[in-house]
Structure 1
């Protein structure tokens, strides 16, 4: 058991920050054997933090539903320029915001996107396939979910490279200055976008619907809540799916027997996507929580106000829950993973991410029967929020 005063440097434990980002699972396994909660220092590059990390499947699921671990920072949200959104909200405010969004972001709206997702995928592959090689992230994994979320929200054509740069600095910052500049730029972009929507004729996109939607009691989203919600949907709505596709294809290409099994039987696809989410999911740790009071977990006390990360990747590789967790097996029953979280903050966009992942991976394998890695993939992105690579060179 780690004493609450002793800080474990995750980078040092792995032999360096690059080694940790490349393969954090041995570090997580070591921590799991010591206990479910540890006082840690996050690895660089970029900003580092001292916080409490919860490891293991059972401990993670319990933490996701622990009312003592709250989303609102102890200092409040007055200094946050983006505005209130679901990842910062606690009950009852969280329930209010989520109900206003789910009135419009319905399963029917998501299911209706399938033909459009297929068409966008086909167009991207039409452009990519004749070339014989490509960076899969730049050619498919990024532009597909980006186009889908932009169309869903009704975002006009914007500079993809500019948006990708802003988004990357938000989820995997290389420095505090770059992250701050990206947030400032995004706030201006979103305020302008919402103002344009208000002035325009009513449209049937999700952002227009969120501007108009009103609950039975007359409640509606405030301007800052709209900005926060647009931010959450735009960033979370594409960034995680980029890395579901990228990490999933990477895992298939590094496990030829599993790739061959999926090619031979596409009825395995749904289960394969769940295994991709478990094995190397796009979210390594959940966004910050804070101890609302001293929280004792198995003898280690998290002090009131301390920041807490719930380890999603550690939960998905816990041998107490998954047999041989470090083995990629598309036939395993991967249900029970927490790649989309658990409890009231379960990912709102999970059905959309799964739909895009299934369509993209099936179409890619059908169009590129000789798909293989062109070279060793790039290193993993810094930070402990998003797990993914910026490039994935492939050939066929």
Structure 2
């Protein structure tokens, strides 16, 4: 639970913030109203990512190079990014200068100042990495990019794709960006969102994060003194969906992708996004970034080291059977989930999301029968297991795909 200190923020100045929004933030997918149901894996889709007051009324200094160092987190609804392409032109729709939308400002200048020396222009270079202390010296370089205004607003290059090294940084859960920018105007700038096209990849099977985790936390604060202390987290998991509640009573919601749990908390005063990454069966590193909702828009990076203290004080219950084997039309089929660990009697079920013609879940939890012709295709099957751990049973859920062929 963070307590942002509301003192004047020392904001970086310059058109570099435009470049930050146009060229850098665009590497960071975020929540979007464009596709509330979520896309299919590997299929590119448009994402409009709100910047949550990260760039508001920032002063621009003409012809002065500016360096800005920022750390950004993926939201939990984008657990794994396969590709990312920035749409700079689409992002310009979300830029305002001196409170005027950029496209409207350009139209005014085109009518009054067409071809004159005070047309808007800027250049920017960027570096991307995972360490804020070294990103400006050794981060992955992009650019230079130019924004100019002649017969129309021109961005060169108009789009840019994240390379494999950058995608790896993004999927580690924390991305640090260093910008060096120069503009030719004095003004104030705000950016409320970025536009991009991304494709999500497929996650590995979710690791087990359930239990009580204890450790220490440290958070930076760009408005005042850093903070830290002890942390207790109780993680509840249902397949890939998970949440944790900290010692202050705040609940963070998220998604598990392999051995990484991406989470988010959006409270009254601040938002925090981050990752909990397993480093061993019962050890993990928690990294996050927080930002306040009101001026002066403070924020900082957090780093926690935690150890799992209990999994119900019982041997860990693990589903070991994996995905159900494929079946064939007209041939007898049987699948029984298996587990390891747990306490006392372990109950196991394999239940289709919708009825598979010819198959049923028996009283012992086995999915069995003879598939009919109507069963040919793919079906979702959930495996649910639980034990008799005291004081609370361990419950594990895992979704699989079952294929029936001719």
More strand by share: 2
Does the pair score TM above 0.5?
no
**What TM-score, normalized to structure 1?**
0.26
Higher Rg of the two aligned structures = 2
More helix by share: 1
**What TM-score, normalized to structure 2?**
0.25
Structure showing greater relative contact order (alpha-carbon pairs closer than 8 Å, 6 or more residues apart): 1
